[in-house]
Amino acid sequence: MGIATESQQEHKASSESTTTEKKRWTLNDFDIGKPLGRGKFGHVYLAREKRSNHIVALKVLFKSQLKQSQVEHQLRREKRVYLILEYAAKGELYKELQRCKYFSERRAATYVASLARALIYCHGKHVIHRDIKPENLLVGAQGELKIADFGWSVHTFNRRRTMCGTLDYLPPEMVESVEHDSNVDIWSLGVLCYEFLYGVPPFEAKEHSDTYRRIIQVDLKFPPKPIVSSAAKDLISQMLVKDSSQRLPLHKLLEHPWIVQYADPLAFTRVD
């Protein structure tokens, strides 16, 4: 990931001698194309780096929007910040799931195994994502998943109490505002696995209060359709456990019979 900024001194900087070797990118280094989407803090565009012709995603963060979320202290004089990100050619996994309704067990297991490996890497770096969901997973040109949007991520050195993320994927400890750790990502991955196979999150309800209740009670039900193997249900049940210390560890998940039988060992996940 690269970073370029536009500050109040931008015009002054642009008038300086161009003979000085560039040490960072500016907008002039890119051809900016179509919009790819918009997020909480800004917009994302398709772009091409002129020198290499490399295709990237250009994320524009607006300080005015950051102020609304009280995170503008992370900036100084910048008016805008531009993040140069790897481009995921096939977009959000959410849209693919909407198109397919639900995934085959082979595809679901491959995605879950790939995400487990990526989360093992993140947790090894003392990072909890805390917002794993289809909208935050991108699909590359070869069909590989890329974890994106680390806006709610934190370091694991201290246990947390903040409730954050998306309701359908929140674990009981967040709903009840008690301390949580990296095991929240295991819960979210379990919710995701269920949604891959059934097309809906497991605790979804018409009213938010009912969703909260179902999460706290771990009111987990497996509908008769679509048909899902008992091995897949077993894995989900071992991940969606109220006591976070009893959830199936990610390294054990990779050894689960369902993953061993169905996951494509050649698939991989990138972390952006």
Q: Residue 88 annotated as binding?
A: yes
Q: Residue 255 annotated as binding?
A: no
Q: Residue 149 annotated as binding?
A: yes
The first and second tokens of residue 157, run together, are 């050195």
Q: Residue 101 annotated as binding?
A: no
Q: Residue 87 annotated as binding?
A: yes
The first and second tokens of residue 110, run together, are 């491959």
Q: Residue 10 annotated as binding?
A: no
Question: Is 131 annotated in the active site?
Answer: yes
Q: Residue 158 annotated as binding?
A: no
Q: Residue 13 annotated as binding?
A: no
The DSSP element (H or E) to which 92 belongs, if any, is none
Catalytic annotation, pick one of 29, 31, 131, 185: 131
Residue pair 244/183 in contact (Cβ under 8 Å)? The answer is: yes
Nearest-angstrom CA–CA distance, 94 and 77 = 36
Residue 112's nearest CA partner among 243, 224, 260 is 260
Q: Please, what's the b/e burial string for 249-260 (b: 16 or more CB within 10 A of its CB; e: otherwise)?
A: ebeebeebebbe
In eight-state DSSP terms, residue 148 is: -
Q: Which residues are catalytic?
A: 131
Q: Residues annotated in the binding site for ATP, as ranges? A: 40, 59, 86-88, 135-136, 149
Q: Residues annotated in the binding site, as ranges? A: 40, 59, 86-88, 135-136, 149
